[in-house]
Chain A
Amino acid sequence: MSYQALMDALVKGEVATVVSIVDKAINVENKKPKDIIDNGLAPGMDVLGDQYDKGDAFLVDLVVAAEAFKRAMDIMKPKLQTGEQQIGTVVIGTILGDIHDLGKNLAKTILEAAGFKVIDLGVDVTPQTFASAVRAEILRAENVIVGISSLISTTMLSVKDVVAELENQGIRDEVKIIVGGAPVNEEFVKEIGADMYAGTAFEGVDKVKKAMGV
């Protein structure tokens, strides 16, 4: 297989080509999912991220690449479960009262492409659910990050409740918390006692990587 061809197909949004290359690589050529991700899918996502930052790629390109990545992951999943090492865990969700998940889903895909295990709690997630998921994950992994997405100004206040709930349960210091979404900013994140702010999905993933020393 050609990793370059896989990367190019992902960047161009050629979903069927991505699927066929990955399918052949896994089921015929017996390639490891980690190699496919590290050499094809992850660099493809990076290229797309750069293009998006420069205004050469658009939201639709990110959504299509995320779909291609998801389909590639579905093909690789059976092999992934046999002991691939992941560099950390991110518990991710859209905050209580909010159902917008496009940004959260993009962040999830890029995190998976970068080699993270992502626990996706979905939308309209209560602080208690965030805390329960964190509690479960810190038993399994050393590096756990909580990613909270909030798209509307009234629900962003509930992000603070997640921090409070983690504190109540005595697990606040076990994790780093990153917050993203239209109404939030660096200042807000500091004010509520979270750790990091992400302006875009790509920026979020960069910060998560740095926080984990990757």
Chain B
Amino acid sequence: MMTEEYMTPRERVLTTCEFKEPDRVPIDFGGLISTILDAGPYGYRALAKYLNVPKHPIYVAYILNTVANVDEKILNRLQVDTRKLFMPNAEGPITFDPDGAMTVWGGIRLKTIGNYYDPFDFPMRDFKTIDEIENYPKWPNPEDPMYYEGAEKMFKQFHEETDYCISAIPGYCALLGHTYSWFRGFDQWLLDMVLNPEFTKALMDKILEIDLEFIDRFFGLVGDYCDIVLVGDDMGTQEGPFMSPEMFREFVKPWMKKLYGRIHELTKAKLQMHSCGSIYKLIPDLIDVGVDIINPIQPLAKDMEPWRLKNEFQGKIVFHGGLDVQKMMAFGTPDEIREGAKEYLKIMAPGGGYIAAGSHNMEPETPPENIVTLFDTVYEYGKYPITI
């Protein structure tokens, strides 16, 4: 039996975040994560064409190459309950370099690799001393008003004039380990923790110091007008966390606690963290640092099966994502997607605490009909009480 919707999108998301059943499972798509790339053979353009959305300018969020401005017609058609608002110029001043690369926030260099913009040519790779961190000439300037231009007005307008759940995306200044590895290289980040712990902590301190200055200013402007804040730091491979929980507690967690703690002081919004891969072993620590919602929940990664997560963490952290993009969405048939989505909902939706979304961005190989099938299935079978 179909039940009528009786909640606004914002109420729906916030109700599930309280571990109560709303009228239906909230749906998320668009923005930076668990959304879609602008890359062929399918990607955003194919989805827009499939849904008869007229051609329009596409803005991408650098790094992930996701479409930052998914058209309203698509969001409405897919019954999406959230709207994403970015820090207006989160990348800072962008320079396009003669070698085809670009330089963004803090001197991080990006170049196009396949469908992504990948950091390379790490500007602090050769640093040996803590003094070099302090003397680095390219630290971004949080006082520069360009970062926040128009933010307050935009957030206020969306929050007051729509009933969508507003997700704030601060971008670079909501990252820690990522920023570290973009300055030093991912392998060097891991090596630093073991070979040069004092340097590691000093660089984490400096990144946190800069992040907090941005965070204070940004949420001073928009803190009252957002419902979710998106932060992120990938912590897992397909097989397990990058590091042991003990190491995480020494080299990452204290800084996360300060950053996320400050965000909680500045806004009542729920804190959503993006962390790829197998992070099951770290979830209790993530709850401890103030993560309310965890994304993207990759069900094919080790220990990330829905039953395990639901049994262990229901009522403690909200799960966001989980609908497999690694195999099901890219290579499954619409029938397989319907069955896969129903199976996932059956486990994750009861009792609330679940927001439906892809287990990461839809890969460019994902046919548009698969995407529409997925969200139609969630909409149809996600009505509470779940009767699958």
Contact = CB atoms under 8 A, between A and B. Distances in A.
Interface of A: 13, 15, 52, 55, 58-60, 63-64, 67, 97-100, 102, 105, 152-155, 182, 200
Nearest to B188: A63
Contacts of A153: 114-115, 363-365
Given A15-B194, A15-B195, A182-B238, A152 B116 contact: yes
Most buried by B among A58, A99, A155: A58
B242 A67 contact: no
A100 B247 CA distance: 24
A63 B114 contact: no
A152 B118 CA distance: 11
Contacts of B243: 58-60
Contact of B195 (A52, A59, A67, A102): A67
Interface in B212-268: 237-244, 247
B194 A59 contact: no
Interface range on chain B (Cβ under 8 Å from partner):
20 to 34
A58 B241 contact: yes
A130 to B, nearest CB: 18
A99 B118 contact: yes
Contacts of B240: 52, 55, 58-59
8 contacts: A55-B302, A59-B243, A60-B244, A64-B194, A97-B114, A99-B113, A155-B114, A200-B239
Nearest to A124: B113
B191 interface: yes
Contacts of A182: 238
B242 A60 contact: yes
Interface in B282-315: 302
A152 B191 contact: no
B344 interface: no
Contacts of B365: 153
Contact of B113 (A63, A98, A102): A98
A163 B187 CA distance: 30
A15 B240 CA distance: 23
Interface string B167-207: 00000000000000000001100110111000000000000
Contacts of B379: none
A100 B186 CA distance: 10
A60 B194 contact: yes
A58 B281 CA distance: 12
Contact of A154 (B241, B302, B364): B364
B328 to A, nearest CB: 15
Nearest to B278: A55
Given A64-B195, A99-B120, 10 more contacts: A52-B240, A58-B240, A58-B243, A59-B237, A60-B194, A60-B244, A64-B191, A97-B114, A99-B113, A100-B113
